[in-house]
């Protein structure tokens, strides 16, 4: 469908089919920078504003967007995408194979500042590219509508990455070299454009031809009772995500997805602390997980985590339990205070649950565990939180998926682009890097991974949840799918 640069929609004073999309928490200052696209609030906006080659559809399959078709060679090393040339960014730039490739190389240079990016480090000519030679990089544009990626081995998770805003199309004018100019400004290339910055979000206006009953205007903001009162009778979606409401509000219906979100604790082995010793980590993990099993958190659609991924086989669950109890009689000795950082994205009930576990751990091992509030006004807060060098323990809430995927594990444990889980033994990255993405994900691979996680004792799974939304009667519930991570506003149906 051809993009229409429609401006702010006006319908002769009629209701603009407005949607209020509320986020559950403030997970940092709102930003439109591609470098800040990894938080829920920013990702929700960029998913609507940024054009990507593909989109993850509500059916759980990848769908065409900038690319109208794609194909791969039999060995999966060469991928060809044919582009729809009807897309134009708000600055007038036509999005074709040439402009997309130029933009993509800039994004690769930005992302590699945090280490070689998963999947794309396997592009032909990557090592030369890092030295400044782009001519041999495996990104070819034989014609204005054909884009080709050439890899040295089958690229794990390629379609997933190409559907992410972090690898979408951005206009030249939004950058100053490899830095984003203004975090409150962006040149739209997708379904919506940013109309205004809100206190904790953004106001969006549609810029494509409306396919039917999609919202023409969307307010994306964090939830407060005051904002809810201001909504009136408009369409409302509340993303509960990790913070489900205790009581279902009158007039709302809850839609819950499959358990793909892991909630746990990350123990830092990199400091000169008690957790630098693997045996201490294992004893700490055994104690924490045992208490968590005995006093499971009853919270929304949470389910006790029996492994890193939900629903392990009975045999794997038994093996993990055996590994987690082998040091149950040991003690941890430390006279140094252990610091656990907590931030605004962790719901109060979850923090209370973690604190109750720590209180019991302290009684058993004589440890002093201090809960440290995260200061997000500090410009270095993200580095402190994910750098594994500033705190002994941090809570983690991560979309891990329904089953193990090598590219996702690579991003979580073997890259600084994501959540930066430690891999002190190197065993997890060894397992994943030794896995061929062409072969079927096997039970054996999952078992090796889960046992390695348990043995390292740095990621302690507490419980799993699924995506969860509250919608009112002005939103067609059939356009909200339990399999999707984020809704695409253009695919929703709302009524006046």
The C-alpha atoms of residue 65 and residue 163 are separated, in whole angstroms, by: 9
* pLDDT (0 to 100) of residue 113: 86
* pLDDT (0 to 100) of residue 227: 72
Q: What is the mean pLDDT of residues 407-411?
A: 81
pLDDT at 5 over 50: no
- Helices marked H in 387-492: 406-413, 427-433, 443-456
DSSP at 249 = P
Tokens (6 digits) for 372: 């440290």
DSSP 159-177: HHHHTSGGGS---GGGEET
Q: Which of 128-142, 252-266, 388-402 has the lowest mean pLDDT?
A: 388-402
- Tell me which residue of 223, 312, 208 sits closest to 259, measured CA to CA: 312
Q: Do 405 and 156 meet the contact criterion of CB atoms below 8 Å apart?
A: yes
Residue scoring higher pLDDT (177 or 401): 177
* pLDDT (0 to 100) of residue 386: 61
- Tell me which residue of 115, 206, 121 sits closest to 156, measured CA to CA: 121
Residue scoring higher pLDDT (349 or 441): 349
- pLDDT tens for 145-183 read 999 999 999 888 899 899 999 999 999 999 999 999 999
The C-alpha atoms of residue 51 and residue 30 are separated, in whole angstroms, by: 20
Q: What is the mean pLDDT of residues 444-462?
A: 93
pLDDT at 449 over 60: yes
pLDDT at 376 over 70: no
Predicted confidence band of residue 8 (pLDDT cuts 50, 70, 90) = very low
* pLDDT (0 to 100) of residue 303: 87
Predicted confidence band of residue 349 (pLDDT cuts 50, 70, 90) = confident
* pLDDT (0 to 100) of residue 13: 36
- pLDDT tens for 56-96 read 877 667 899 999 999 999 999 999 999 999 999 999 999 99
Q: Do 224 and 422 meet the contact criterion of CB atoms below 8 Å apart?
A: no
* pLDDT (0 to 100) of residue 326: 58
DSSP at 494 = B
Residue scoring higher pLDDT (273 or 112): 112
* pLDDT (0 to 100) of residue 29: 76
pLDDT at 266 over 90: yes
Q: Do 143 and 96 meet the contact criterion of CB atoms below 8 Å apart?
A: no
DSSP at 421 = -
The CA radius of gyration of the chain, in Å to the nearest whole number, is 23
Residue scoring higher pLDDT (474 or 403): 474
CA 164 to chain centre: 9
In sequence order, the 6+-apart residues with CB closer than 8 A to the CB of 232 are: none
If you average pLDDT over every residue of the chain, what do you get? 85
pLDDT at 221 over 60: yes
The C-alpha atoms of residue 452 and residue 122 are separated, in whole angstroms, by: 25
The most confident of 207-211, 257-261, 270-274, by mean pLDDT = 207-211
* pLDDT (0 to 100) of residue 256: 82
* Kind and range of the H or E run holding 382: helix 381-386
Handedness of CA 250, 15, 201, 483 (dihedral sign): positive
Residue scoring higher pLDDT (418 or 492): 492
Residue scoring higher pLDDT (455 or 300): 455
Predicted confidence band of residue 438 (pLDDT cuts 50, 70, 90) = very low
pLDDT at 329 over 70: no
What length does the chain have? 496
Predicted confidence band of residue 110 (pLDDT cuts 50, 70, 90) = very high
Residue scoring higher pLDDT (404 or 232): 404
Predicted confidence band of residue 292 (pLDDT cuts 50, 70, 90) = very high
pLDDT at 104 over 60: yes
pLDDT at 370 over 50: yes
Share of the chain above pLDDT 90, in %: 50
- In order of start, what are the domains of the chain with their CATH numbers? 1-50+174-234+474-496 (3.40.190), 52-169 (3.90.76.10), 259-466 (3.10.105.10)
The C-alpha atoms of residue 266 and residue 269 are separated, in whole angstroms, by: 9
* pLDDT (0 to 100) of residue 11: 35
Q: What is the mean pLDDT of residues 433-442?
A: 59
* pLDDT (0 to 100) of residue 115: 81
CA 30 to chain centre: 16
* pLDDT (0 to 100) of residue 78: 97
């Amino acid at each position: 469908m051809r993009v229409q640069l429609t401006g702010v929609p006006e319908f002769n004073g009629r209701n603009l089919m407005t949607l209020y999309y509320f986020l559950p928490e403030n997970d940092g200052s709102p930003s439109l920078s591609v470098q800040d696209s990894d938080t829920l609030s920013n990702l929700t906006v960029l998913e609507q504003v940024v054009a990507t080659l593909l989109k993850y559809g509500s059916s759980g399959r990848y769908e065409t967007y900038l690319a109208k078709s794609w194909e791969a060679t039999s060995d999966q090393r060469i991928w060809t995408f044919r582009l729809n040339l009807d897309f134009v960014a708000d600055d007038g730039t036509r999005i074709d194979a040439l402009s997309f490739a130029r933009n993509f190389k800039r994004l690769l240079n930005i992302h590699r500042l945090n280490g070689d990016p998963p999947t794309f480090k396997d592009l032909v000519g990557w090592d030369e590219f890092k030295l400044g030679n782009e001519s041999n990089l495996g990104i070819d544009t034989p014609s204005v509508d054909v884009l080709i990626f050439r890899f040295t081995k089958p690229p794990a998770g390629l379609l997933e990455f190409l559907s992410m805003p972090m690898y979408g199309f951005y206009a030249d004018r939004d950058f100053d070299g490899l830095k984003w100019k203004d975090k409150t400004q962006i040149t739209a290339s997708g379904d919506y454009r940013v109309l205004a910055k809100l206190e904790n979000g953004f106001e969006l206006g549609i810029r494509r031809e409306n396919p039917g009953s999609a919202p023409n205007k969307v307010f994306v903001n964090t939830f407060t009772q005051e904002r809810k009162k201001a909504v009136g009778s408009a369409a409302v979606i509340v993303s509960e995500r990790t913070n489900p409401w205790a009581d279902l509000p009158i007039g709302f219906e809850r839609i819950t997805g499959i358990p793909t979100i892991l909630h746990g604790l990350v123990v830092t082995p990199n400091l000169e602390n008690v957790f630098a010793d693997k045996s201490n980590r294992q004893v700490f993990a055994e104690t924490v997980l045992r208490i968590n099993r005995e006093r499971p958190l009853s919270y929304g659609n949470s389910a006790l985590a029996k492994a890193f991924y939900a629903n392990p086989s009975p045999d794997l669950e038994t093996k993990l339990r055996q590994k987690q109890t082998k040091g149950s009689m040991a003690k941890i000795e430390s006279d140094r205070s252990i610091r656990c950082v907590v931030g605004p994205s962790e719901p109060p009930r979850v923090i209370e649950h973690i604190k109750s576990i720590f209180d019991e751990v302290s009684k058993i091992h004589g440890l002093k565990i201090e809960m440290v509030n995260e200061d997000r006004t500090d410009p270095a807060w993200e580095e402190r939180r994910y750098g594994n060098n500033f705190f002994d323990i941090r809570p983690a809430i991560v979309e891990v998926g329904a089953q193990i995927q090598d590219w996702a594990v690579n991003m979580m444990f073997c890259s600084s682009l994501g959540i930066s889980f430690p891999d002190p033994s190197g065993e997890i990255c060894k397992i994943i890097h030794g896995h061929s993405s062409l072969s079927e994900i096997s039970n054996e691979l999952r078992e090796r991974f889960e046992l390695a996680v348990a043995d390292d004792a740095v990621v302690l799974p507490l419980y799993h949840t699924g995506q969860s939304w509250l919608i009112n009667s002005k939103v067609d519930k059939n356009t909200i799918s339990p399999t999707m991570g984020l809704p695409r506003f253009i695919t929703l149906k709302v009524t006046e």
